[in-house]
Structure formats: C-alpha cells, structure tokens
Amino acid sequence: MRSESHSPSGPPGTPARRAEQNRRRAWRGLRRTVLWSLVFGVGTTFAVAWILAGVVNLSTVKPITGSGETGVAGEVWVVHVRARSGAASVLSQRFTGRVRSDIAARPLLPSWAPFGVKQPAYEQGATFYESRRASARGWPKLALMAVEEDPYGNGSTLNGGIRIGDRLLPLRVIPLGFAVDVAVYSCAVLIILGPWILRRVGRLRRNECLGCGYPLGGAGRCPECGREVDEPASVPQPLPGPHR
C-alpha cells in the first residue's frame, strides 16, 4: 500500500478532477451565501418593521379622509389614512350617516388594506356599523401589518399582531412589500460580501489555497499555511489503479 501523505504534491486527484471539485465547491459556497443572505434579508425585514412599530407614532400625523357610497341608501364609507415613511395606518368605517369629503374613499385605500368589501356581519345586518383599522410597518416598503376589528369598541379584537403596551407588533405579511424589502436587504449583504465572494471564486478557479492564496497543485493540504483542502464526503474517491 503506497502512502500519499509523504509526497508534498501527491495526487489525490488529477488536475481535471481537482478543477471539477473546485467548481463544485465554488457553486456550493455561492448557494450557501445566497441562502444565508436571504435568511438575513427576512430577519432584517422583520426587525426593521418591528423597530418602526415601536418608534413611529402615527397618532400625531394628520389623517387624509375620503368618503364613498356603499350602495345602500343613507350609508357611507369613510377611510382615514395616516402615513409617513415606513409606517401607515388605515381606518375604514361604514355606517348610516353623512361625511363631507371631496376625496373618494376607494382610491385612497392602499392595496394592502383589506377593506374593499364589507364584513359579513355588517352586510347581513347583524351590526349597525363596521370599523376596522390596519397598521403597517416596513422600509423601504411596508412589509408587515396587523388588523384591528372595531378598534374603538369594547369588543376590539386584533388579528395578525401582538400588542405590547400601547404598541402593536405587526405579523401579517404584505406579500409585495415584504418581497421587495427582503430583496433589498439580501442584495445589500451580497454587495458587501462581493469582494470576498469574487476572491474565493477566483482562488478556487486558479486552484489556490482559500486561506492564503498559495498555489495548491495536487496537495490535499496547503504547503504554505497548512489549511486542509476540504473535499466533500459525497464525492467518491477513485481507487488508485496499479499503473497510476
């Protein structure tokens, strides 16, 4: 049995096989980096939305009010929108009465606020008014929201959020805004890691040590810094033939 550990450039693989291994390692590293940057993007999107929920107080923001017909005589639909960078809340109310507003309700309603149709209980006449409020946070796009049913009533309920003191942590994902924020934060990490990724890919392509950049040849361990050339266990090692 011959021992390969004694020869410094002993061949655990031919140059072609080493190149193939390096290519595989480069792809594996890239996949892992992209995956982790996505995980970071999701985490940061949640963190930013929750920090904004704690920091931004919309009660001091003057609302824009719109009104519209509900299709029932005497009934009115009123939408109040308060918004500033990274935060918005929408209060939607339907009742019998009159509200003066030159602004139409429907164009004022953001696409993420699910108040375009009446609640069943109100539609069927079980309640004489409906009142709902959606609070959203996120930057650069609103990413998470919570919905309160009857926010000013005694039976106020909260969906898709957690109340902490007088703050509301939103939990319900706003699909488009969430995707944009995750993409922004993930890409930011990839750009920051860009030089490191390029150096790693370049060293693998030139068959150099990932630690110090020393040319490896066929060595299984870097002759310069001693770093192990990690070969995946899943790659089968060819048996050495008698004439190799």
- Are 106 and 67 in contact, with CB atoms under 8 Å apart? no
Residue 236 vs residues 30, 191, 228: alpha-carbon distances, Å = 22, 35, 18
Options 142, 173, 209, 219; binder of Zn ion; rule CB under 5 A = 209
- Rounded to a whole number of angstroms, the minimum distance from the CB of residue 13 to Zn ion is 18
Quick one: 121 or 212, whose CB is closer to Zn ion?
212
Give 40 or 214: the residue with its C-beta nearer to Zn ion.
214
Cα separation, 157 vs 154, whole angstroms: 9
By CB under 5 A, the residues from 212 to 241 that bind Zn ion are 212, 214, 222, 224-225, 227
Instruction: Report d(CA 126, CA 144) in Å as an integer.
Output: 30
Number of chain positions touching Zn ion (CB under 5 A): 8
Interacting residues with Zn ion between 93 and 132 (CB under 5 A)? none
| Minimum gap (Å) between residue 141 Cβ and Zn ion | 44
Q: How far is the CB of 202 from Zn ion (least distance, A)?
A: 15
Q: Does 200 bind Zn ion (CB under 5 A)?
A: no
* Gap between the Cα atoms of 32 and 198, Å rounded: 14
CB of 226 vs Zn ion, minimal distance in Å: 7
**If you count them, how many residues does the chain have?**
244
Distance CA 71, CA 77 (A): 10
Which region, judged by CB under 5 A, interacts with Zn ion, from 133-141, 153-161, 191-199, 202-210?
202-210
Beta bridge partners of 14: none
Which residue's CB is nearer to Zn ion, number 10 or number 110?
10
In the complex, which residues of this chain contact Zn ion (CB under 5 A)?
209, 211-212, 214, 222, 224-225, 227
